[in-house]
Amino acid sequence: MSDLGHVLVLAGGLSYEREVSLRSGRRVSEVLRGAGISVETRDTDASLVPSVLADPPDAVFVTLHGGAGEDGAIRSVLELLSVPYVGAGPDACRVAYDKPTAKTVVRSVGLRTPESVTLPKETFHDLGASAVLARIVERLGLPLFVKPSRGGSALGASIVRTAEDFPAAMVGCFAYGDTALIERCIEGVEVAVSVVDLGNGPVALPPVEIVANEGVYDYAARYTAGHTEFFAPARLSPEASAACAEMAVTAHTALGLRDISRTDLIVDADGLPYFLEVNVAPGMTETSLLPMAAEAAGEDLGTLCRVLLEQAAKRGA
């Protein structure tokens, strides 16, 4: 029997990923109710702070994606309200949410990550787009992967296979953020490794392999049933699977994360994983990767979420 009286699930927000967040929130609320927990689901609007002050929850499960849900802002507010929550603290979130910074941190502890260039929109325009892009192609080669330095759900992300495709990819990226991260595109198996800490240190769940029908794991492929094939566990050698698990746990630890995270990787033809990015508020929808990994590990999602909330409640704000 849980000691939790009632918990709050935060979902929605005003980021580009609002709809995904609402779906994650519904799923977490459903599995928690199935685990016998009294759950309230709320959006992040002007009524949130007065509501929490009037009736403080025992703990909060944050299912906000992008923006305030992952950059540490909402977690700072929860700490101001003295309300415990599942997941990393504000400082760790800020580092992990900024992809170039996260890459720098994991590289400093010896993890492999694709060579990259970070380019603010102002620099792109001020120095002459064509000259800058030509130099990037010369330096990093093709293909390239372009994505906003912040944000998720593959919004604004695209593969550049020819130099002619590069300008359009940059324009698409800048529609979702002011800074682009341009990486050498590693061809291989796309894998996501979720990490959970249920009280005995961070542990990697089975890696999930992602095979998008159209070849690109974009927004539609992520959240439309039938657009992507998943393999949980991934079809990797035991050695490659172990290397992916070790990389995800190392990234989780190096970035100072807590409770839960998901690391996205590419495994090349030699079985070597490359760190791409980490998510501090993994998706929890019906097509999301952490729930698949939990099922592959024989873990009940409701129980996992309940334990994480109980830990947060005991830890306090």
Active site residue 201: no
- Give the angle subtended at the CA of 157 by the CAs of 250 and 177, to the nearest 5°: 90
By DSSP bridging, strand 203-204 and strand 273-279 are: unpaired
* Angle of the 73-80 helix axis to the 90-97 helix axis, nearest 10: 180
Active site residue 283: yes
Catalytic one among 258, 262, 274, 302?
Answer: 262
Q: From the CB of residue 15, how many other CB atoms can be counted at a distance below 10 Å?
A: 23
Q: Which helix (H) or strand (E) holds 97?
A: helix 90-97
Active site residue 277: yes
Q: From the CB of residue 110, how many other CB atoms can be counted at a distance below 10 Å?
A: 9
Active site residue 176: no
Determine the Cα–Cα distance for residues 209 and 207; give it in Å rounded to an integer.
7
Q: Which helix (H) or strand (E) holds 141?
A: none
Active site residue 299: no
Catalytic one among 25, 156, 177, 283?
Answer: 283
Catalytic one among 25, 264, 306, 310?
Answer: 264
Active site residue 306: no
Active site residue 112: no
Active site residue 223: yes
User: Distance between alpha carbon 264 and the CA centroid of its chain, in Å?
Assistant: 8
Catalytic one among 209, 259, 277, 310?
Answer: 277
Q: Which helix (H) or strand (E) holds 61?
A: strand 59-62
Catalytic one among 279, 288, 306, 310?
Answer: 279
User: What stretches of the chain adopt beta strand conformation (E)?
Assistant: 6-10, 38-42, 59-62, 116-120, 144-148, 158-160, 179-184, 189-196, 203-204, 208-212, 228-231, 260-267, 273-279
Catalytic one among 17, 70, 98, 183?
Answer: 17
Catalytic one among 21, 223, 288, 306?
Answer: 223
- Give the angle subtended at the CA of 69 by the CAs of 65 and 75, to the nearest 5°: 155
Catalytic one among 21, 29, 149, 153?
Answer: 153
Cβ-contact 32, 7 below 8 angstroms: yes
Residues with catalytic function: 17, 153, 223, 262, 264, 277, 279, 283
